[in-house]
Amino acid sequence: GENVEQHPSTLSVQEGDSAVIKCTYSDSASNYFPWYKQELGKGPQLIIDIRSNVGEKKDQRIAVTLNKTAKHFSLHITETQPEDSAVYFCAASKGGGATNKLIFGTGTLLAVQP
């Protein structure tokens, strides 16, 4: 069945360093890959997404890369700040993009040390 693997499960970085979270997906028909940030007690918040016709997308300090051949995608956060501390989830869906169900990864707890 459809599956998304995410690594690492926890990541601790110093403020100002970069953080990288990696995901792999099993279904080659997947074509939409969002990343969500979940703060304590809140719902997942979309921070960036990428579609399969693009290899990389950047939004200020956040970037996502996609390798369709290898079926993996990564989130890159540069110049990390304490407020970046949260759980990050990758997800994948297929068949038309944002309107289809999301298959989530297991999450990465990012801790940015001041």
Partner 1 sequence: EPEVTQTPSHQVTQMGQEVILRCVPISNHLYFYWYRQILGQKVEFLVSFYNNEISEKSEIFDDQFSVERPDGSNFTLKIRSTKLEDSAMYFCASIPTATGAFFGQGTRLTVV
**7: contact with partner 1 by CB under 8 A:** no
Residues 51-80 binding partner 1 (CB under 8 A) are: none
**37: contact with partner 1 by CB under 8 A:** no
Amino acid (one-letter) located at 33: F
Residue 61 per-residue DSSP state: T
Query: How do 72-77 and 4-7 pair as beta strands?
Result: unpaired
User: Among 11, 94, 104, 111, which residue sits at the site for partner 1 (rule: CB under 8 A)?
Assistant: 104
Residue 83 phi/psi, 5° resolution? -70, -5
CA distance 32 to 72: 12
- Contact region for partner 1 (CB under 8 A) — 13-21, 43-51, 60-68, 74-82? 43-51
The nearest distance, CB 78 to partner 1, in angstroms, is: 22
